[in-house]
Amino acid sequence: MTKNAVRAHSGAPLALDKHTPRAAYQQTDLSLLAPYMLLMMMRNVTSNGFVLEDPTNPGQYSLPGCVIAAPSFPANTPGVDQNYVFNWVRDAAITAIEIAAARLPVMIEGVGVETLNNYVKFAKICQDNATPTMGHACYTITGHARPWSEQNDGPGIQSIAMMQAYSQLDDEAKGIARDVIGKNIAYLLDVYKDPTTNLWEEHVSQTFFARSIHLRCFRDFSKNELGMDVPDGVASAIKWLETEIPNHWNGWCYVTMLSPDGPPGTSVMADDVGYDPNIDIVSAAVYGGVPVTDTKVLATAGHMRRLWADPASDCVYPINVEDQTRGIGPLMGRYPGDTYDGDVAHPVRGGHPWPLCTANFAELYYMLAREIHRTGKIPLDDLSREFFAQVGVSNEASPAAAVAALHEAGDMMLRAVVFHSDHYELSEQYDGTSGFEKSVRDLTWSYAAFLSALRAKNAPMPKAAKAPAAKPKLKVVEKPAEKAPAKAAAKTTSKAKTKA
């Protein structure tokens, strides 16, 4: 049953007693959706046998390994004036990470996964054609630079993807990957301190997301198993980023765009623009090097959820209030002052929720649950209190209870994504009032984000930390009736072992 059919029940929560069938979205086993979402995503990845034609340049055909952002362009998507039939470096890398995680079958021994081999080779073509810098973000389906912005997180997340895919590449692709990664690292060592275009391609400054990606990239590369030497400067870059990222804290949230001229926590964006809190802080924790246990990240996330889910908020999405009656959601957007809905000619302030933003937020819940299980500690303080209260976790909650609550919160978000999808097809956005899909259709990143969240949900839990063992009570030794020799006094010892 699709969302359209389920909407006949939207006036009140669906009954769940044994006499009333549950709706489709209530029966869906989230853990089993990965193969379907993977197939949906793979429709946007070209190969030798699956070829696309450039909609604006007839006669120009895709090279293998191109990952288009979406098959939408104005002529085939009414109400949308954007063309997404291009290869964005960031989107392609996030997609490649999920392809690598899927462990696709190898048809011929020793040749690796063809899709990943193609991805690496196409990335090399784009890198060779990069202009004006290696941070160029967007390429045609033939691997030529399209006039667009420079986004320095791209080479970082591309390198992360290739390191994760490396064991599934053939020998030729491995050599190409090492070449691409080496050039990326050299480039990033020159620019990681510089301003760059932010995640949403709207402003240039010191961006939280790019810094987090750079931090993870340098960390991963510093312990790489690709046989590549780690150049001088990587260790100092890691230390510098670890010092600078906290400067984005303004006292109540991490600002996404830090002013290079102001004191710590000063956004380059005016308050009335509504650019903070921004979901890219959550995305930075999912894809980058900022820990999900950072209570400043959790504080920022808590503010976002309240803005879009609390009926008393001026920014609430009406569909989230309606979804509360279904026991699903909430859906998450980009930032409160958003105006983009696929049609830049007619901006509407407030924006709409995005499947990828919702999936990233769900993944934050799952990743945090895993860390709480591993450490036996809930990172609950004055900063993160609202975040945990939103899912029913208080000071009295046990780690096990917090893990269960966080998983349930993540599931509710993913169920909202499923419910508002069209037979599991995911567009870029959902309408904030009606909940129906809008903007460009079949966004590759939407599928990749959903798959990433499912991986976090289904990942085997690490070995839990053991609570310190209680010290055994001293054994009381009864005095014998007869007089004991003075030197035969009993000695009692106790040892308690603690394992972190």
DSSP string over 177-203: HHHHHHHHHHHHHHHTTS-EE-TTSS-
Query: What's residue 489's pLDDT?
Result: 34
Whether residue 492 has pLDDT greater than 60 = no
Q: For 286-302, what is each residue's pLDDT tens digit?
A: 999 999 999 999 999 99
- 88 forms beta bridges with 138
Choose the most confident range, by mean pLDDT, from 75-84, 103-112, 390-399. Answer: 390-399
DSSP 485: P
Q: How far apart are CA 500 and CA 498, in angstroms?
A: 6
Q: How far apart are CA 435 and CA 324, in angstroms?
A: 13
Residue 20 pLDDT grade (very low, low, confident, very high; cuts 50, 70, 90): low
Q: How far apart are CA 276 and CA 282, in angstroms?
A: 12
Q: For 202-236, what is each residue's pLDDT tens digit?
A: 999 999 999 999 999 999 999 999 999 999 999 99
| More confident position, 461 or 253 | 253
Q: How far apart are CA 70 and CA 445, in angstroms?
A: 9
Nearest to 287 by CA among 126, 97, 30, 38: 97
| More confident position, 1 or 200 | 200
Q: How far apart are CA 221 and CA 225, in angstroms?
A: 8
Q: How far apart are CA 384 and CA 152, in angstroms?
A: 30
Q: Around Cβ 23, how many Cβ atoms within 10 Å?
A: 18
Number of helical H runs and strand E runs in the chain: 16, 7
